[in-house]
Structure 1
């Protein structure tokens, strides 16, 4: 069940402003906001790609179920991230809330129409597309790392750049998600994380092992060098 968000409008990210959409187009974009429960689907693979989405609060994973039943996570989208902008008429991956997540959605066709008539909108959409392509390339390189420790280190550095606040890295996703993102088993991820802990590269805060303090970023970065 979708629960329409009730956040103060003034506190919401200005998505239209971020995209430089003219005020004349704003009324036709059709912005809505919904809250998804943990594990609830935002859209499925092959659903019509009629909307573009922005995470207002929480986190979303995009993934594909493989023929053998395994799950490959292609991306995590965090607060402020925009996703669902496809180069086809349907979504190639499924999207699901990692934790309780508020998402804004707006009509893809309206944005495309705006891009045809407004250079600012066109360049912003092009920038978003380029960013998504760059992330896909980075993820491909990450999967090509030789060892599990290298993969986990690269992931933690990525999240450190996107999530860390006041020196604390608070991960919304668990180790199963991390494993499916890195193409590893849950046990392998746990061993790699425990190794980094033993080597005093990081430490955990609390019992969930999702709140991390990185003690030695230089040492952590040394694992993120492709061989």
Structure 2
């Protein structure tokens, strides 16, 4: 299926009937807080599978960050096949474990300083994109802020500080060159 920029894929509390894998583009999952703020739970990139839920309903909403192509599979069909195919069962188990690890890492990041959060985010994205030199960020600064629990001003200011110190270079608003991974890593430690 194809989804346009900011198009909803599924909503919070809707039945979790499908599993999704990104072919192209990027997807964010998020929850709206009682005070109206948006908390982004995760970003998913090509190859990532999302929509995995322990219960019968989605705990968060999902929408395309940019134009995205997503493979959609009925959850019941995948689970039935997993009962018969040991490899698929193992893959689903590893997917659940990776998702749990991602949630744990994200929750730990939220107690760090703004500099530490942004540095960790840049290193995470570079690692997920398989790049050591630069990373294309499909998401906006507001998305990054909502993911890191910061304001957009803090994220933008931190990017500028990192650029002025030589840790990164901002090739475009979405393309970041990592010039000093060691310094970024020290911040993220």
Task: Give the structure 2 partner of residue 193 of structure 1.
Answer: 159
1:116-155 deviations in whole A, cap 9, x for unaligned?
A: 222222111111100100000010111111x101100000
Task: Give the structure 1 partner of residue 86 of structure 2.
Answer: 119
Task: Give the structure 2 partner of residue 210 of structure 1.
Answer: 174
Q: 3-state SS of the aligned residue for 2:66?
A: coil
Would the aligned equivalents of 1:52 and 1:106 in 2 still touch at CA under 8 Å?
A: yes
2:166 counterpart of 1:162: no
Q: 3-state SS of the aligned residue for 1:45?
A: coil
2:55 counterpart of 1:88: yes
Q: Distance in 1 between matches of 2:186 and 2:2?
A: 39
Task: Give the structure 2 partner of residue 223 of structure 1.
Answer: 187
What are structure 2's unaligned runs of at least 5 residues?
none
Query: How far off its partner does 1:165 sit?
Result: 4.5
What value does the CA root-mean-square deviation take over the aligned residues?
Answer: 1.1
Would the aligned equivalents of 1:164 and 1:170 in 2 still touch at CA under 8 Å?
A: no
Q: 3-state SS of the aligned residue for 1:140?
A: helix
Q: Distance in 1 between matches of 2:14 and 2:63?
A: 13
Q: Distance in 2 between matches of 1:58 and 1:165?
A: 17
Count of matched residue positions in the alignment of Structure 1 and Structure 2:
189
Q: Distance in 2 between matches of 1:214 and 1:67?
A: 37
Would the aligned equivalents of 2:135 and 2:175 in 1 still touch at CA under 8 Å?
A: yes
The one of 45, 48, 51 aligned to 2:12: 45
What are structure 1's unaligned runs of at least 5 residues?
1-33
Q: Distance in 2 between matches of 1:126 and 1:191?
A: 40
1:169-218 deviations in whole A, cap 9, x for unaligned?
A: 11000100000000000011111111111110000113xx1111111100
The 5-angstrom pairing of residues 145-184 of structure 1 reads 145=112, 147-165=113-131, 167-184=133-150
Task: Give the structure 2 partner of residue 3 of structure 1.
Answer: none
Q: 3-state SS of the aligned residue for 2:42?
A: strand
1:10-54 deviations in whole A, cap 9, x for unaligned?
A: xxxxxxxxxxxxxxxxxxxxxxxx110000000000111000000
Q: 3-state SS of the aligned residue for 2:77?
A: helix
Query: How far off its partner does 1:164 sit?
Result: 5.0
Report the more deviating stretch, 106-115 or 149-158.
Answer: 106-115
Query: How far off its partner does 1:82 sit?
Result: 0.3
Relative to structure 1, is the Cα distance of residues 182 and 56 closer, same or farther in structure 2, using a 3 angstrom cutoff? same
Task: Give the structure 2 partner of residue 70 of structure 1.
Answer: 37
